[in-house]
Amino acid sequence: MKSAFDAGQIDNDEHAYSLDPHSICSVLKSYLRELPDPLLTHRLHNDWVNAAR
């Protein structure tokens, strides 16, 4: 499934209800793990912590 998403071979509108939500979440988690930099950047770490308080 990940390779199909990477290749743009999945039409989100057509397949949205036929795909297992757990599989979709696994692909998303894999994508987030493979990012070169985290979404919540190290540079803004203190700002993220303060915002969570």
Q: What are phi and psi of 3, to 5 degrees?
A: -65, -35
Between CA 51 and CA 32 the distance in angstroms is 22
pTM metric for this prediction:
0.57
pLDDT band at 52 (very low <50, low <70, confident <90, very high): very high
Contact by Cβ (8 Å): 17, 43: no
Q: Bigger pLDDT: 46 or 20? A: 46
What is the predicted pLDDT for the residue at 41? 87
- pLDDT tens digits, one per residue of 1-34: 677 777 777 766 655 556 788 888 888 898 899 9
Between CA 31 and CA 49 the distance in angstroms is 24
